[in-house]
Chains A and B, each alone.
Chain A
Amino acid sequence: NAGVTQTPKFRVLKTGQSMTLLCAQDMNHEYMYWYRQDPGMGLRLIHYSVGEGTTAKGEVPDGYNVSRLKKQNFLLGLESAAPSQTSVYFCASSPAGLAGGINTGELFFGEGSRLTVL
């Protein structure tokens, strides 16, 4: 019953460093997403993927890159971290569409990754 797993859960970076957040899901979902959440604010979509090998920009994509080489994994990269990227990052996955009313398009979220950029 792993669901959506994010690694690492905590990370501290210096400005200019790079890092990658890994999201893995074991539910065979087609869609995967990366959100960021800043204190007292809602979630904002960074990038998303509708299938293996595809990615698309969300609401706040600048400064981030993503890759979906395998269906079960969605990677979020920061090439040159900035203090403005200090946030909690959430990964989510969902099945594709309503599938004739069977699915609700429900998003399943990971527990979050807290990133601090000094």
Chain B
Amino acid sequence: LAKTTQPISMDSYEGQEVNITCSHNNIATNDYITWYQQFPSQGPRFIIQGYKTKVTNEVASLFIPADRKSSTLSLPRVSLSDTAVYYCLVGDPDQTGANNLFFGTGTRLTVIP
């Protein structure tokens, strides 16, 4: 099971860029890195996924160094509505089974006015 380690919590002021780093030292060759966002009383929602280097979409950027043993989710100019728990998952989406479905405890981001 590809396990991940994230900070338990982070605080940020509105308008700042927030970077959340996830460690995954035992990532396998076919594993992808996926980030989810969860608001209170809701199910998690997919944010972004990547394999290497940098991926950007309308919501966030994902930076993955060459050794792929860590990744950083970057949220530009956060707002109060970005307050949520963020989960980093590592696994092979092309494989069945639970190896790519381990959510862990996530990082609780609190955005301060």
Chain A residues at the B interface, C-beta cutoff of 8 Å: 4, 31, 33, 35, 40-45, 48, 50, 56, 58-59, 90, 92, 94, 96-98, 103-112
Contacts and interface: CB of A to CB of B under 8 A. Distances in A.
Given A106-B46, A108-B46, 9 more contacts: A31-B96, A40-B105, A41-B105, A42-B87, A42-B105, A43-B44, A48-B101, A106-B49, A111-B43
Contact of B98 (A59, A94, A96): A59
Contacts, number: 70
A32 to B, nearest CB: 12
B98 A45 contact: yes
Interface string B69-112: 00000000000000001010000011111101111111000000
Contacts of A108: 46
Contacts of A40: 105
B104 A112 contact: no
A31 B104 CA distance: 20
B41 interface: yes
Given A98-B93, A105-B34, A106-B46, A45 B105 contact: no
Contacts of B29: none
B41 A112 contact: yes
A92 B104 CA distance: 16
The bracket for how many chain B residues form the interface is 20 to 34
Nearest to B43: A109
Contacts of A94: 93
A105 B30 CA distance: 13
Given A42-B103, A42-B104, A105-B34, A112 B42 contact: yes
A45 B97 CA distance: 11
Nearest to B6: A42
B23 to A, nearest CB: 16
Q: A33, A35, A42, A108: which has the most chain B beta carbons within 10 Å?
A: A42
B45 interface: yes
A109 to B, nearest CB: 3
Contact of B96 (A45, A50, A103): A50
A104 B87 contact: no
B45 A109 contact: yes
